[in-house]
Chain A
Amino acid sequence: MITVVAVSGLATVQDGGRPGHMHEGVPPGGALVPELLARANAAVGNEEHAAGLEVFGAITLSGTATTLVASDDSVPVQLAAREPWRLLCAGARVRYVAVRGGIDVPKVFGGRGTLLAAGLGGHEGRALRQGDELRVGAPGSSHRPPLRSAPDLDAAIRVVPGPDLDLFEAGALDILLGSEFRVDARSDRTGIRLTGPRLQRVGDDLGASCPMVRGAIQVPPSGDPIVLGPDHPTTGGYPVLAAVVVACLGALGARPVGAAVRFVAVR
């Protein structure tokens, strides 16, 4: 058992997501930065998608002396009964805590992660609060997968152009690929909002809502793009200029508010 002694900002239980339910309107979920959750898990001998804590802000935890935790810096720490352990995002957008054995909340539709919009999964379907007590799973056979590297916060984010190129002005893709955007403070797990040069559309929103994927770069009438996150609505009404490749989702999600984002096309 671990106890949440204090939280500032937003902390939720997250894991590898719950694929396979998008036809019911359930988004794929999963850690905003899968590489960082994997690093924390590897440090305590968990498999990379084991449920851990995703923290925007800071969290203080306590547990028994046998509880082994680690953050994404991958240094394991033994939690002692009376010594609270604090994780602070400081300059980072988001950080992760893994506990040996994983956070043992019920699996809901194939995942243990929290979907706040539906009050689903995680700890009682909600953000963690002071005083919450989280059960810890039985440690499996300890395995040490190769430690994944932390995402590169400066590299260009790779995208596949389209599929709604015909709903944009001819130069819109060039503007996306040739400009610098910045992560906006309104970003969350449903979408990363960017500001930068306006991406000019032709015509209105899509006539009917269309299926969406994580990483889709939707452009609302304002012209400021939104890159859909793990908890994105499974359908959306804004045209999509390009979509971020899966391998770059973490590198985008990890960028703090105000950080620069550049895109490069892969084909």
Chain B
Amino acid sequence: MAVTLEPFGDTAWRARLPETGDGASRRALLEELRALPGVVDVVISECHALVVLAVGASPEGAREAIARTLAPRSASAPDAPTQPELREHRVLVRYDGADLAEVASASGMSSAEVVAIHAGTAYEVAAMGFLPGFAYLRALDPRLILPRRATPRPRVSALSVAIAGPYTGIYPFASPGGWHLLGTAVGFTPFDARTGAVMSLGDRVRFVAHTREAAP
């Protein structure tokens, strides 16, 4: 099956990705695309891959190599990707979010049930984006899927743990935000000023309820 590359401006290509890719294959794809000559940036989201070329590089010249890298292939192919190293992150959460009660009532559960469900799920980094170090974490329990808040907050505190649509995530920095706030990450920094984003595409993430301060 041929891969369609759509021009995105004059120095980038965008391609639609199959929805079937697991974390390891998506990470491998990211690394392979980044290693192509002339490529300066790659962003892989749930449905798309973006490949940004160096200014002055010929987008047409890079097209074939990008398309070949994106093409589905069998695992036995000689250029099959090496298995990337995915990490698992455990994040302590104080479930004190301003929207916890509202989420509970919208989903017909108690706050304790919402916490148990949110902390009882293994998530996967579906995409990095929005802010440095922000991970869109997928596999949110369908009972917690809610549209974004009708009116975004002008300021959400750094380290807020929140949900919206099929995702959960941790705000690395204070910013405007329209997600529902469930709690606050404790002892975890999504973006390290020296080493960069702590979570990467395909990584696993688990939330652990910080019980000492969870009681009212």
Which chain A residues have a beta carbon within 8 Å of chain B's beta carbons? Answer: 19-26, 28, 108-109, 115, 117-120, 160, 162-163, 207-213, 215-216, 233-236, 240, 243-247, 266-267
CB within 8 Å of A: which of B3-46? 6-12, 14, 30, 34, 40-46
The answer to the question of B84 belonging to the interface, with a C-beta cut-off of 8 Å to chain A, is: no
Find chain A residues with CB under 8 A from B136 CB: 208-209, 235
The answer to the question of B201 belonging to the interface, with a C-beta cut-off of 8 Å to chain A, is: yes
Pick the interface stretch among B47-55, B62-70, B111-119.
Answer: B47-55
The answer to the question of B163 belonging to the interface, with a C-beta cut-off of 8 Å to chain A, is: no
Q: Which of B8, B42, B175 has the most CB of A within 10 A?
A: B8
B55, A163: Cβ atoms closer than 8 Å: no
Question: Can you list 27 A-B contacts (CB < 8 A)?
Answer: A19-B52, A21-B41, A22-B41, A22-B42, A23-B128, A23-B201, A24-B196, A25-B128, A25-B197, A117-B131, A119-B173, A160-B8, A162-B6, A209-B46, A211-B43, A213-B11, A233-B129, A233-B130, A233-B131, A235-B43, A235-B127, A235-B128, A235-B129, A246-B9, A246-B10, A246-B55, A247-B10
> 9 tightest A-B contacts by CB?
A235-B129, A211-B50, A243-B9, A211-B43, A24-B197, A163-B6, A22-B41, A208-B46, A245-B10
B30, A23: Cβ atoms closer than 8 Å: yes
A234, B9: Cβ atoms closer than 8 Å: no
Q: Which residue of B lies closest to A34 (CB)?
A: B55
Q: Which residue of B lies closest to A28 (CB)?
A: B41
Find chain B residues with CB under 8 A from A213 CB: 8-9, 11-12, 50, 52
Find chain A residues with CB under 8 A from B8 CB: 160, 162-163, 213, 216, 240, 243
Find chain A residues with CB under 8 A from B40 CB: 19-20
The answer to the question of B172 belonging to the interface, with a C-beta cut-off of 8 Å to chain A, is: yes
The answer to the question of B77 belonging to the interface, with a C-beta cut-off of 8 Å to chain A, is: no
Q: How far is the CB of A187 from chain B (nearest CB, A)?
A: 16
Q: How far is the CB of A239 from chain B (nearest CB, A)?
A: 12
The answer to the question of B95 belonging to the interface, with a C-beta cut-off of 8 Å to chain A, is: no
Find chain B residues with CB under 8 A from A118 CB: 131-132, 172-173, 191
A208, B132: Cβ atoms closer than 8 Å: no
Q: Mark interface residues in B143-156 (1 if CB within 8 Å of A CB, else 0).
A: 00000000000000
> Contact partner of A209 among B6, B7, B129, B133, CB < 8 A?
B129
Q: How far is the CB of B147 from chain A (nearest CB, A)?
A: 10
Q: How far is the CB of A191 from chain B (nearest CB, A)?
A: 13
Find chain B residues with CB under 8 A from A211 CB: 14, 43-45, 48-50, 129
Interface residues on B, range: 35 or more
Which chain B residues have a beta carbon within 8 Å of chain A's beta carbons? Answer: 6-12, 14, 30, 34, 40-50, 52, 54-55, 126-134, 136, 165-166, 172-173, 175, 191, 193, 196-197, 200-201
Find chain B residues with CB under 8 A from A246 CB: 9-11, 55
CA distance A235 to B52 in the complex (A): 13
Find chain A residues with CB under 8 A from B172 CB: 25, 118
Find chain B residues with CB under 8 A from A240 CB: 8
Q: How far is the CB of A113 from chain B (nearest CB, A)?
A: 13
Find chain B residues with CB under 8 A from A119 CB: 173
B133, A25: Cβ atoms closer than 8 Å: yes
CA distance A18 to B203 in the complex (A): 24
Query: Contacts A215-B9, A243-B8; is A25 near B42 (CB within 8 Å)?
Result: no
Q: Which residue of A lies closest to B31 (CB)?
A: A23
B14, A163: Cβ atoms closer than 8 Å: yes
Q: Which residue of A lies closest to B6 (CB)?
A: A163
> Contact partner of B41 among A23, A115, A236, A247, CB < 8 A?
A23
Q: How far is the CB of B28 from chain A (nearest CB, A)?
A: 13
Q: How far is the CB of A176 from chain B (nearest CB, A)?
A: 15
CA distance A212 to B12 in the complex (A): 10
Find chain B residues with CB under 8 A from A24 CB: 128, 132-133, 191, 196-197, 200
Query: Contacts A109-B196, A211-B45, A211-B50; is A25 near B129 (CB within 8 Å)?
Result: yes
Q: How far is the CB of A71 from chain B (nearest CB, A)?
A: 25
Q: How far is the CB of B178 from chain A (nearest CB, A)?
A: 10
B132, A115: Cβ atoms closer than 8 Å: yes
